[in-house]
Structure 1
Amino acid sequence: MDSNRHFSPLLICHGMLGSRHNWTSMAKQIHKKTGRRVLTVDARNHGDSPHTDTMSYPLMGSSEIKYFILKDLKLGPVVSIMGHSMGGRTAMMLSMLEQQIVKIDRVVIVDISPVNQKFDVTSSNEWNMEHYFHCLKNVTFDQSMKISEARKFADTQLSLRIPDAALRSWLLMNMRQDFKTREIGWRINIDGIHAAFKSEIATIKFTENCVPLYPGPSLFVGGADSEYIPLSDHEEIRERFPEAIFKYVPGAGHWVHSQKPAEFLNTILPFLKE
């Protein structure tokens, strides 16, 4: 890597039911290896962001992320962006909107396609969010417990429906104890996310003011064991991202960056160093 070269800041958008903290370790490694300034941000209704009744990709991409880039931390006008799953589609929307205002240097999309799939609540797919919404909503919290005890109790409840311990641990990162009231519960706005999921999040709708394509460098990274960037989507993806290249991480499912972190990092670093 040319140590004298200046790289644009990299903004990372997390996926559904995640938070910016899911990417902390990866962000530090990317910064160390590339010298890029790397920032992670919580989507609305997730992490430390406000709870709202509405969610959509234009709201999250064109409105909130654009404001974050230009106003909050004054990152613009040139940034790179990486997003996983829901965050990947947020990144897509931003890259195709406001191109005269925010210049996106390059885009990394992690295990999601702009091509909508049919939503099937009976699917066994690992990203069947209806199943996870049902599981999280049915967790009960004993307010007499310490937070560590409550987390173990919640894990026991989730284990009846979610056998994967690593996935449960990831979901349980959404637990918190309110600093003021001391009430234990979910940090995320489950009801708000669930209400918007099928109509606004499970599908992406490119609006009339959306530029039909992103002409810059773009990397689509999929899990080899995932179904979210199928080979059949490549042609249609290139209609919107004509410079798209595709990489698949062996042995990884939908959560590529957490299931195979070393392999994921080695996949994206050459692209981020260009």
Structure 2
Amino acid sequence: MHYQTRGQGPDVVLVHGLFGDLDNLKSLAQALEANFRVTRIDVPNHGQSPHWEHMDYPRLAGALVSLLDSLDIAKAHLVGHSMGGKIVLATALLFPERVASVVAADIAPVAYPPRHQTVFNALTSLPLDGSVDRKGALTHMLAKGVDEGTAQFLLKSLRRVEATTGLGSDSNSETGTKVNQFAWRMNLDGLIAAYDELIGWPIEGKRYLGDTLFIRGDESDYVTAAHKEAILAQFPAVQLKSIGGAGHWLHAQKPAIFNRLVQNFLDSSGN
């Protein structure tokens, strides 16, 4: 997986959510780098990491452990938001000996109903042939029912690519016209194919006994009282914190509070 590492000290790995990349938790990384060695990753099918045809949490957990091996990290604190939270929870359950502690931001170890149909429709229907510029892309996303904050976040994955059009019948012809088009940095087809796996939760009958922190936004419905039993069943040594005035994007909406909660938890966990 593509990654960036900075800082010195015990290892912390930060894992972003669906449609994101390693910059999503950059504010947290900067807050931690004075006392920890922080690695931010691009999850497969996102950012600059490889595109996978098949994507599920056991395989993602294995890939995360393989990255730890390549960086010669015996054990790390894992922090993840949303889908990234499920990745770090899965890693803790499947490879507990490699996890010093785990933080899950606004996600629970449960299966969720589909809730990204509007986003997928907006992404797949956006013309990528260059007929729509970035401003037009934003207008398109808003017209498809995506709120502006989410649309701006999604469009960070839109990149310009150079294509050649107007080629003759000769496949070796270089007489075509080069035009600027767009492409998604994320593997959109791969994410659509894996979506049922990503909203599901396949890991049963396992427990992680290490220190665990769940942080939720009090305006979000991703972690509710109905999820308490499922959380305690697999993560009995758990703390639960709520951030007032925050929704699912709690790390971006209330970064100072979110960063402080994570740092205090990591400082109190065994290094």
Q: TM-score, normalised by structure 2?
A: 0.85
Paired amino acid for 1:248: S
- Shift in Å at residue 7 of structure 1? 4.9
CA–CA distance in structure 1, aligned partners of residues 131 and 37 of structure 2: 43
Q: Name 2:152's counterpart in structure 1.
A: 169
Report which stretch shifted further, 51-60 or 261-270. 261-270
Residue of structure 2 aligned with 1:88, choices 85, 88, 108 = 85
CA–CA distance in structure 2, aligned partners of residues 10 and 253 of structure 1: 24
CA contact (8 A) 2:217 2:246 kept: yes
Residue of structure 2 aligned with 1:132, choices 116, 119, 140 = 119
- Is 2:106 the counterpart of 1:111? yes
CA–CA distance in structure 1, aligned partners of residues 162 and 67 of structure 2: 26
- Shift in Å at residue 143 of structure 1? 2.4
Q: Greater Rg, structure 1 or structure 2? A: 2
CA contact (8 A) 1:8 1:105 kept: no
3-state SS of the aligned residue for 2:104?
strand
Q: Name 1:11's counterpart in structure 2.
A: 13
CA–CA distance in structure 1, aligned partners of residues 9 and 232 of structure 2: 25
3-state SS of the aligned residue for 1:185?
strand
- Is 2:157 the counterpart of 1:160? no
RMSD: 1.9
Paired amino acid for 1:47: G
CA contact (8 A) 1:249 1:256 kept: yes
CA–CA distance in structure 2, aligned partners of residues 213 and 206 of structure 1: 10
Report which stretch shifted further, 218-227 or 172-181. 172-181
Q: TM-score, normalised by structure 1?
A: 0.84
Percent identical among aligned pairs is 32
Q: Which has the higher strand share?
A: 2
- Shift in Å at residue 231 of structure 1? 1.3
Alignment of 1:43-54 (within 5 A): 43-54=43-54
Paired amino acid for 1:79: A
- Shift in Å at residue 23 of structure 1? 1.6
Gaps of 5+ in 1: 1-5, 121-127
Report which stretch shifted further, 225-234 or 214-223. 225-234
CA–CA distance in structure 2, aligned partners of residues 271 and 42 of structure 1: 24
CA contact (8 A) 1:13 1:20 kept: yes
CA–CA distance in structure 2, aligned partners of residues 98 and 184 of structure 1: 39
Q: Name 1:185's counterpart in structure 2.
A: 183
Q: Name 2:176's counterpart in structure 1.
A: none
CA contact (8 A) 1:162 1:168 kept: no
CA contact (8 A) 2:119 2:146 kept: no
Q: Name 1:38's counterpart in structure 2.
A: 38
CA contact (8 A) 1:223 1:249 kept: yes
Residue of structure 1 aligned with 2:237, choices 243, 251, 265 = 243
CA–CA distance in structure 1, aligned partners of residues 136 and 239 of structure 2: 44
Provide, for residues 167-187 of structure 1, a one-character-per-residue CA deviation record: whole Å limited to 9, x for no partner: 211111111123798542111
Paired amino acid for 1:230: T
CA–CA distance in structure 1, aligned partners of residues 187 and 121 of structure 2: 14
- Shift in Å at residue 53 of structure 1? 1.1
The 1:27–1:180 alpha-carbon spacing in structure 2 relative to 1, beyond 3 Å, is farther
Gaps of 5+ in 2: 1-7, 165-179
3-state SS of the aligned residue for 1:16?
coil
